[in-house]
Each structure stands twice: as structure tokens, then as C-alpha cells.
Amino acid sequence: MAVGIDVGIKNFAYDSDGFVTPNPQNLKKILKPLARVQRKIPGRQFGSNNRKKSIRWYQVIHERIANRRKGFQHKLSTIYARKYDAICVEKLQLTDMVKNPRFSRSIMDSSWGAFLQKLEYKVNLYVEAESRNTTMHCSRCGNKMPKSLAVRMHRCDKCNLVMDRDCNASINILNKAIPQELRKLTPVEISMRSMKQEDHVL
Ligand SMILES: [Zn+2]
């Protein structure tokens, strides 16, 4: 069985079967105590026990964050690798996005790159699709529906498909990697198909 996975900021992963994994946002949650400890360090006297303690505490929190993120990536990639023979993802263009200061922390936090690496290592077949237009195109009819990042739903004015934007993207990713004729329809596609037929009846 094959699946397409779209990774993002709001949802860490949205797949073409309709499963959503929210972004854990570990870093943001723990960032506050981390910053608090970091602020204390310069005020502590050099070589003092308090300074050593603060530095050690900073390292402990840092490590804890790293371990949690790693654990999350391992868990999720194992689930996917066990469930599917083929996993299709979008080629990441991190450098462009990291340049955008608004996104940088979230990107670092969600660590898609590290997740995809683990996925690639664990799954039988790992396919990278070109990331062009996977959000814009309608996954059912191919119609172009440009949308800003704020628009969370894909609404096609041609075939009337209404779907979460990330889910639409994940099906596009799957289609790019494995054309629809060569694979089984995903449960989401099947449900959307029956909706289309109902529209015709009406
Ligand atoms: Zn459409």
C-alpha cells in the first residue's frame, strides 16, 4: 500500500488516507524555561557553583527537548513504515523557508528533515516528488486553485471538491509519485468520489 504525506507547520503530517498528526511544538512549550535559565547565566559569578548549576540545567533542558523531538520522529516514522510499503513525500526546500523569519522556529521545531530521514531509512520504498504546485492543484480534477497560507481549505470552483488543504496536497504528492491508475484509491478519494456522484444525482 502506498501513501502520500504532506508535512507542514500547522499539521506536522497529513496523509492521503486522511490521518493527521498535529505539530507537537515541543520547543515552543519548553522554550520559556530555557530562556529563563539562559538569562541567568551571565549574572552568575564566573566559576561559582551557581553558574555551573545554571549551565548544567540549561544543558539538561536542551537535551530533554532534543530527546523528545527525536522520540516523536522515531515513533511516527515507525508507524508509517509498518503500515505502508511505499511512502511518497515532497522534496523539502528548507533553505528558502528558513530564510523567512516567521517560519524558521516552527520549521526547526517540527524538524521535518530529521523525520523524513528516519522514514527513508525504515520504509521499503521512499519516493520524493517535486514540490511544485502540490498545494495549488485540485487533487481530483487538476484545476489550479491558488491559495495563501492562511487559507486552510481547498475549494475547487471546477469540480466543487472541498477538502483540507494539507490533505489535498498529500493526495497530489501521492499522484505525482504514483499515478492514480497504478495504485488503489485512498479512502479519502473514495469518499470524495461518492460525494461527486451524489452531486450528479441532485
Ligand atoms: Zn477540482
Instruction: Please state, in angstroms and rounded to a whole number, the distance separating the CA atoms of residues 177 and 126.
Output: 10
CA of 76 to the centre of ligand 1 (A): 31
What mean pLDDT, rounded, does the chain reach?
86
Express as a percent the part of the chain with pLDDT over 90: 54
CA of 145 to the centre of ligand 1 (A): 8
Q: Please give the pLDDT value at position 131.
A: 82
198 is catalytic: no
Instruction: Please state, in angstroms and rounded to a whole number, the distance separating the CA atoms of residues 138 and 132.
Output: 13
Q: Which of 6, 17, 109, 189 is catalytic?
A: 6
Closest CA to 127 of 175, 82, 177: 177
pLDDT tens-digit profile of 121-173?
A: 999 999 999 888 899 999 999 999 999 888 999 999 999 999 999 999 999 99
The pTM (predicted TM-score) of the whole model is 0.82
Q: Domain range holding 24?
A: 2-201
Q: How confident is the model at residue 103 (pLDDT cuts 50, 70, 90)?
A: low
Q: Which of 15, 90, 164, 189 is catalytic?
A: 90
Radius of gyration of the chain (CA): 21
90 is catalytic: yes
Number of domain units in the chain: 1
Q: How confident is the model at residue 112 (pLDDT cuts 50, 70, 90)?
A: confident
109 is catalytic: no
CA of 15 to the centre of ligand 1 (A): 19
Instruction: Please state, in angstroms and rounded to a whole number, the distance separating the CA atoms of residues 135 and 170.
Output: 9
Write the CB contacts of 197 (distance below 8 Å, at least 6 apart in sequence): none
